[in-house]
Amino acid sequence: MSVDDPVKRSGFAADHPAAGGAMQPGFEAFPPVERWDDWTERDAHGREHRYSLVPTTCFNCESACGLLAYVDKETGQTRKFEGNPLHPGSRGRNCAKGPATRNQVEDPERILHPLRRTGERGAGAWQRCTWDEALDDLAGRIRSALKRGEPNKVMCHMGRPGEDGFTERVLGAWGVDGHNSHTNVCSSGGRAGYAFWMGYDRPSPDFANAEVILLISAHLESGHYFNPHAQRIVEAKRRGAKLIVIDPRLSNTAAQADHWLPAWPGSEPALLLATARHLLVEDRFDREFVRRWVNWEASLQELAPGAEVTFERFVHELRVLYDRYTLEYAEAETGIPAAQVLAVAEAVANAGTALAAHNWRASAAGVLGGWLTSRCLFFLNVLTGSVGTPGGTGPNTWHKWVPRPPYLPPRPEQWNELTWPREYPLAFFEMSFLLPHFLLEGRGSLDVYFTRVYNPVWTNPDGMTWVEALRREDLVGRHAALTPVWNETAWYADYVLPVGLGSERHDLHSYETHAGSWIGFRQPVNRVAAERAGHPTADTRETNPGEVWEENEFWIELSWRIDPDGSLGIRRFFEAPDRPGEKMTVDDYYGWIFEHSVPGLPEAAAREGLTPLAYMRRYGAFEIEKAVYLRHDDPVDMAGEGLVVDAAAGLVYGPPPVGPGLNVAHVPLLPPDGAGRARLGVLVDGEGRRGFPTPSGKLEFFSSTLRDWGWPELAVPTYLPNQVSRARMDAPDAFALVPTFRLPVLVHTRTGNAKWLNEIAHSNPVWINPEDAERIGVRDGDLVRVETETGYLVNHAWVTEGIRPGVVAMSHHMGRWRLAEDAGTDRWSSARVDLRETEPGRWTMRRLEGVAPFRSKDPDSSRIWWRDAGVHQNLIFPVHPDPISGQHAWHQRVLVRPAQKGDREGDISVDTRASRRIYREWLALARPASQERGLRRPEWLLRPLRPTPAAYRLDPGPAGPAPDARVE
Amino acid sequence: MANHAWVIDQTSCIGCHACTTACKSENDVPLGVNRTWVKYVERGTFPATRRDIAVLRCNHCEEPPCVEICPTTAMFKRPDGIVDFDTGRCIGCKACLQACPYDAIYIDPHEHVAEKCNFCSHRVDQGLLPACVVVCPTESLLFGDLEDPRSRVAQVVASRPTTVRRPEQATRPNAFYLGATATALDPLAPVHADAYMWSERRRGGAKDHSAAIAALEAEAPPVRGGARVAYDAFHPEPWGWKVALYLWTKNIGAGVWALAFLAPALGLVALSRELRLAAAFASLAFIGLTTLLLVWDLKRPERFWTILIRPQRRSWLALGSFVLVGYSGLLGLWFLGTWFGADETLLLVLGAPTVVLAALASLYTAFLLAQCEARDLWQNPAVFFVLLAHMTVLGAAGLLVAAAATGGLDTIAGFARAALVGGGVLGVAALLSGEAGAGRTTANARAAGHLLVRGPFRTHFWLGGVLLAGLVPVAVAALAPAAPAALLAAGLLAAAGALWYEFGFVAAGQAVPIS
């Protein structure tokens, strides 16, 4: 590679050869970029191929690592996917799922053409249809709903998006508050804990520069953002950083840790608060940071009303408040010996301002009040002053760039109560997993429901209730599944519309993988290769397999058909920016963005004589900023024109900016002052600083939002008992089930069609400690029944020292099923089952046949050697909506017993009537938005597709449906 | 000259399996087989539990046993240190799978030839790093030239403590591990349970026996927290019943005629022309059967002839083939000569080299098995004597059958009795001394010995090898010295015992995990 090669110019700290490091002189990791257009390489069989090397982005997990597709010029096949060395997040490297993209593209089970249901919904009869037929039908129904003034009869339910806002803006353009997400089965708990502190709802740890890394996660094997984060954690470890992992199960991450703390699930806040207490009592916290950046004055007034407002008094009150969180208390709650808690507290105390900590799921997604885990974890960042520092933990938005698109649609005018019910005014975000309950109890219905690369029947808790709702055509008029492959939910669709994999679609995204920001461009690689070869393409279907489409073009086309003449005011958002009245192409869209909204990109492109779009097509990623730290401390120009200081609130206001900025990443809404001035910053020691997007502008130890919205007792970081507390394990066979852990090689249901990954992992036994196993009379490999309040499953036991006694765990990803011989879910990963409703609300599933070899054009399909498909567990989980974050609390109190006579592995039994009852029990925990306040949600809190202020107003009326509608 | 090597850094490896899938993609590796895989071992008692990780693959040995055993030069070491393979030359004999002490080689289910990690030699030749090195998120796989002081590999090997897998095999591996634990690298340290933490454990390989080995070797009942494999890849037993049967038919083919020739040649007893012809015919038939079994067991049987035209001269599989061909040829001539009444002196002169080849036909297998570096049971010097004993016993049994068929049972009885006694005594002595000696060699040999003598294969050893093929003929010879029919029966029982033993011997040798 030449010295001028961008790989080397990018100056990565790592010495990895994929990033240009010299491992062995004379050898390179990648072909030089200047030869990507025409690269000749011999394959393992000695055959020479001429390739077009096209960068794109992995579409498996949300890390969005760069890929480099080797498109064979002769056959048009992508022979392999390597990493993209120019990607600032993944830096040329991948996890097992990157190379396995090839399996997904070549999967002989793929759906290549749109399908339309012919029989009853869910009966499994399909016929091929055209895209036009599907588009016209869906567009007609949506248009009709919009014209009737019922925009919220349209809903698009997104799996992990893998893109930054395209679909959300489509819905905005339609005027529909119909964005639904997977967030509340995933990260609401994590988000809420961070957001109540700093407004921003995600952490961005600077692992590479940390002294101490504290994970309530498993970032060396999974999670956002597995590969990019793992690289940087290991770099830090090589430098001597200490790794602390809190996890009741020995994850691969815990196995690499200096301290593995197998705390009882949900007890993490006790451990974290004991650490906080240690820092406070030993006076080893960053006083100056806390004094400057925490809303201590307001907090003190709440903790000790009338007390003298001094920082010392605040510190005193903190010590009093957390006095009960002794090391011994932590030991009693968590099961971690006090000495080990102390060692960890000391490590944290010694981290200086380089404590990189992360919690996204784990108990934050596991228990009632789980959001307190991330809230208490960030407390340690606050106390150590490691907020936004080198080696510390910053907010994600500093490290994320969502470039402004050509058009920003207006905000929806109608609030959608099916996704944002008034019972959950603080939820992060849509109460997605309650949708079937809402539909079944008569809160509303849908005319058109899209599931977009999303599989709620399998992925969400209480899947049988999903089936009960989805099969009702009166509740869901049309269900269109946009998916690359069959899944359990698509089975209950009216249309199955094949959309592209990571190498077959356009998307743009940016994630906080480190303390810098970048954009990554996902591209249909065959289309790009064809263009390079002089065959420009106007429609990605022309170069994709079969009739597989990409979503961008699908949404543009659908929008045009909804509003063909422009009379609904929708079409204008889908017209070419420079050719009014003409349909926007993906080149128009991304070309505009790259030209206008990415600082430095036009210049970088010009230096190479390329348009910004051509530059991104060539390199696939662009680094915008490096070493972004301490943004909160940026000074506000106090001499600026029109600047006004609100001394009482400690806030600085000024003239509102003209139009949106170039980076339109979601940030909390900072309310203007009475005169309509925008909030520019916060006063710190009398100086204007940018601060944090919270009501106070500071980090909020005491959250007035929580107080004002009905939760005064939880307004400061604290610890609560929950549904799997140790105290609730009151029987010898009662356990806390951790059902959420993930494996390094799979991701949810997206990897079911990757043979190399399923070959590695295809079982999800019940992890149980030998001590427990002996007590309940189970040996390794024995079948056990795991029973929740709504049903049971039968699976085999993995008796292991790698889990805390009293806790059992099953990994996620597995238990895929299909109802037909050769359709429904990929045969690489699914068992054929008999699913039946024996009486209303009573469902049973029995495995008829495990994974088995099958004949296809891929000879490997006849070489499948594994039979296990794992046992699905989400079906037996009733919904557990956390009343504040809205997170489904995944952990379950279960009874684990030896299997009974007649039980077979894979048996599942569910009672959806019981799940309705538990839904109502948890619903009763909620504290709805109050009529007096007159708002549905605090306006400052983050919310996707934020509606107009008028829509935030709470109309008088009962919460939920009329009482008689609840009776089913 | 360059000498390429791996450094595998287990202090930073996160066990993510990216190397596994990148390799499958780069090299089109089918399902069911792996050029590189990741092994997890769990050990310790909660909460002091550990999960050790090891990335396992070809070691590109300085002394690669796979190259030495390969009969057709399909496995070869390049001047730059890469142990590579040529799929066009491989006949699929699986000998390299028996030679590699690291389970690194597999038979490709598509091409039916032996393949393994070759450092992505096609990439190396183009100046590109191996695919697994490029994909590895944590820079835990280092590739480079040990002879180049600028390479990271050379620097790490020179400056940091590294270990290799199974150093006792004296292969001088060029895969150096940083921070790998003994539990992760020693195939006998952990036990394989019924399943792994997220996958099934395939049956039909050595790992099926790991629990039995542990139980046989344990001095006390297992305690909690013992090392257990949490994830691993599958490796089948390369050789099955055809190879066991081949050992038996070959000993018959070698022994019957050899005894029929030696008896008159040494002046012990004169044999009828019919008996000599029958013995020669039986030997020819059994050697033919042996060859058939050998070819049948090849994964690419149509390439059998390439052993003869492109032999690898150090391979006892190639040398053995020449022995079998030479023996069959000379024996055929001897048979024709006898048939056509050729001069006895001429037949004697012809028979002398033939009988040497007959002995070699039986005994070369000891040298072949000695080249099977992965199977320490088979390295035992006793193997040579067991072969000799079984050739003798089976030869005598065959001769008795031939004599019964040709009506000369009485004439041959004395000679056959002596052969049965000699072979039986030698067999029992070799088996027992071999068992006694096994404990003093490697852990692998000890484990295999335990399996064979006290474990699941013990009936093969005791009933087949010791009793039927050893003590029964000796006892019958002693108790019924003048009963040819009893001798015949004893011979048949001994033959059955020898066959039963071979099944156990072949299986037990492959029943000890090596990865």
pLDDT in tens, B11-60: 999 999 999 999 999 999 999 999 999 999 999 999 999 999 999 999 99
Q: Where are the beta strands (DSSP E) in A840-876?
A: 842-849
- The average pLDDT across B239-254 equals 97
In a domain, A362, yes or no: yes
Residue A155: pLDDT over 70: yes
Write down the pTM of the prediction.
0.96
Judging by DSSP bridges, how do beta strands A678-684 and A687-689 pair with one another?
antiparallel
Print the SS3 string covering A632-685: HHCECCCCCCCCEEECCCCEEEECCCCCCCCECCCCCCCCCCCCCCEEEEEEEC
- The average pLDDT across A366-377 equals 98
Answer whether B40's CB lies under 8 Å from B231's CB.
yes
Asked if A895 and A769 sit in the same domain, the reply is yes
In chain B, which residues have their Cβ closer than 8 Å to the Cβ of A43? Answer: 28, 122
Residue B461: pLDDT over 90: yes
Q: Which residue has the tokens 């609100």?
A: A646
pLDDT tens per residue across span A66-121 = 999 999 999 999 999 999 999 999 999 999 999 999 999 999 999 999 999 999 99
Cα(A826)–Cα(A751) distance, integer angstroms: 10
Residue A602, Cα to own-chain centre: how many angstroms?
31
Distance from CA of B26 to the nearest CA of A (A): 7
In chain A, which residues have their Cβ closer than 8 Å to the Cβ of B120? Answer: 44
**DSSP notation for A597-636:** SSTTHHHHHHHTT--HHHHHHHHSEEEEESS---GGGPBP
Does B133 reach chain A within 8 Å, measured CB to CB? yes
Domain boundary among A626, A661, A689: A689
Q: Where are the beta strands (DSSP E) in A899-953?
A: 908-911
The CATH number that applies at residue A209 is 3.40.228.10
Residue A6: pLDDT over 50: no
Q: Which A positions 210-269 lie with beta carbon below 8 A of chain B?
A: 220-221, 227, 230-231, 234, 237-238, 250, 252-253, 255-256, 260, 262
Distance from CA of B139 to the nearest CA of A (A): 6
- The average pLDDT across B178-199 equals 95
Around B233, how many Cα atoms within 13 Å sit in the side-chain half-sphere? 25
Residue A794, Cα to own-chain centre: how many angstroms?
29
Amino acid in the structure at residue A410: P
Token couple for A129? 């249809």
In a domain, A59, yes or no: no
Short-list B407, B394, B412, CA closest to B493: B394
In a domain, A372, yes or no: yes
- The average pLDDT across B174-186 equals 96
Asked if A674 and A780 sit in the same domain, the reply is no
Percent of residues, chain B, with pLDDT higher than 90: 93
Short-list A638, A595, A599, A642, CA closest to A614: A595
pLDDT value of residue A968: 34
* Residue A22: Cβ within 10 Å count: 14
Q: Which residue has the tokens 């690489």?
A: A828
Smallest CA–CA distance from A238 into chain B, residue = B12
Cα(A493)–Cα(A124) distance, integer angstroms: 10
pLDDT value of residue B431: 96
Question: Which residues have a Cβ under 8 Å from the Cβ of A56 and sit 6 or more positions away?
Answer: A66, A67, A68, A69, A84, A502, A503, A521, A522, A523, A524, A525, A620
In a domain, A288, yes or no: yes
In which domain, by residue range, is A843 found? 726-923
Asked if A773 and A678 sit in the same domain, the reply is no
To test the contact with chain B by mutation, choose from A756, A771, A867 the residue with the greatest count of B C-beta atoms within 10 A, namely A756
Cα(A666)–Cα(A646) distance, integer angstroms: 26
Q: Which residue has the tokens 């799929």?
A: B87
Does A859 reach chain B within 8 Å, measured CB to CB? yes
State the average pLDDT for chain A.
Answer: 95
Cα(B368)–Cα(B96) distance, integer angstroms: 11
pLDDT tens per residue across span B193-202 = 999 999 999 9
pLDDT tens per residue across span A38-59 = 999 999 999 999 999 999 999 9
Report in angstroms the alpha-carbon separations of A107 from A115, A858, B22, B34. Answer: 18, 8, 17, 20
Give the confidence band of A37 by pLDDT, cuts at 50, 70, 90: very high
Bridge partners, residue A393, by sequence = A205, A387
Residue A10: pLDDT over 50: no
Residue B432, Cα to own-chain centre: how many angstroms?
21
Residue A196: pLDDT over 80: yes
Does B135 reach chain A within 8 Å, measured CB to CB? yes
pLDDT value of residue A16: 83
Residue B281: pLDDT over 90: yes
Distance from CA of B504 to the nearest CA of A (A): 27
Architecture of the CATH domain B241-509: Up-down Bundle (1.20)
- The average pLDDT across A415-427 equals 97
Residue A267, Cα to own-chain centre: how many angstroms?
23
Buried b (16+ CB within 10 A) or exposed e, A412-431: bebbbbbbbbbbbbbbbbbb
The CATH number that applies at residue A813 is 2.40.40.20
Can you name the CATH fold of B4-231?
Alpha-Beta Plaits (3.30.70)
Give the confidence band of A2 by pLDDT, cuts at 50, 70, 90: very low
Cα(A399)–Cα(A203) distance, integer angstroms: 10
Asked if A641 and A730 sit in the same domain, the reply is no
Q: Which long-range contacts (CB under 8 A, 24 or more apart) does B473-482 make?
A: B473/B393, B473/B396, B473/B420, B473/B421, B473/B423, B473/B424, B474/B420, B474/B421, B474/B424, B474/B425, B474/B428, B476/B420, B477/B417, B477/B420, B477/B421, B477/B424, B478/B421, B481/B417, B482/B413
Domain count, chain A: 3
Short-list A440, A537, A508, A434, CA closest to A883: A434
Token couple for B105? 């080689």
Answer whether A950's CB lies under 8 Å from A413's CB.
yes
Could B199 and A744 be called an inter-chain contact, meaning their C-beta atoms sit closer than 8 Å? no
H/E stretch holding A66 reads: strand A66-72
Percentages (nearest 5) of helix, strand, coil residues in chain A: 30, 20, 50
* Residue A585: Cβ within 10 Å count: 16
Asked if A666 and A760 sit in the same domain, the reply is no
Q: Determine if residue B407 is left, alpha or beta; phi over 0 gives left, psi from -120 to 50 gives alpha, anything else beta.
A: left
Could B26 and A44 be called an inter-chain contact, meaning their C-beta atoms sit closer than 8 Å? yes
Print the SS3 string covering B310-359: CCCCCCHHHHHHHHHHHHHHHHHHHHHHHHCCCCHHHHHHHHHHHHHHHH
Domain boundary among A331, A366, A399: A399
- Calculate helix-pair angle for B316-339, B344-371, nearest 10 degrees: 160
Q: Which B positions 8-47 lie with beta carbon below 8 A of chain A?
A: 12, 14-18, 20-22, 24-28, 30-32, 40, 42, 44-47
In a domain, A49, yes or no: no
Judging by DSSP bridges, how do beta strands B36-43 and B4-9 pair with one another?
unpaired
Residue A957: pLDDT over 70: no
Q: Where are the beta strands (DSSP E) in B73-178?
A: 75-77, 83-85, 106-107, 114-115, 141-145, 175-178
Bridge partners, residue A357, by sequence = A214
Around A74, how many Cα atoms within 13 Å sit in the side-chain half-sphere? 7
pLDDT value of residue A967: 35
Q: Which residue has the tokens 């804990």?
A: A193
Q: Which B positions 231-260 lie with beta carbon below 8 A of chain A?
A: 231, 234
Short-list A418, A417, A444, A437, CA closest to A936: A417
Answer whether A398's CB lies under 8 Å from A741's CB.
no
Cα(A315)–Cα(A933) distance, integer angstroms: 33
Q: Which strands, in side-by-side order, build the sheet including A517-522?
A: A507-509, A517-522, A621-625
pLDDT tens per residue across span B422-438 = 999 999 999 999 887 77
Give Rg (Cα) of chain B. Answer: 25
Could B18 and A16 be called an inter-chain contact, meaning their C-beta atoms sit closer than 8 Å? no
Residue A564, Cα to own-chain centre: how many angstroms?
35
pLDDT value of residue A7: 36
Cα(A53)–Cα(A36) distance, integer angstroms: 5
In a domain, A313, yes or no: yes
Domain boundary among A884, A906, A923: A923
Asked if A734 and A680 sit in the same domain, the reply is no
The three-class DSSP label of residue A840 is coil
Give Rg (Cα) of chain A. Answer: 27
pLDDT tens per residue across span A585-596 = 999 999 999 999
In a domain, A37, yes or no: no
In a domain, A675, yes or no: yes
Domain limits, chain B: 4-231, 241-509
Torsion angle of C-alpha atoms A184, A190, A194, A200, degrees rounded to 10: -50
Residue A8: pLDDT over 80: no
Asked if A244 and A347 sit in the same domain, the reply is yes
Bridge partners, residue A480, by sequence = A450, A495
Give the confidence band of A3 by pLDDT, cuts at 50, 70, 90: very low
Does A20 reach chain B within 8 Å, measured CB to CB? no
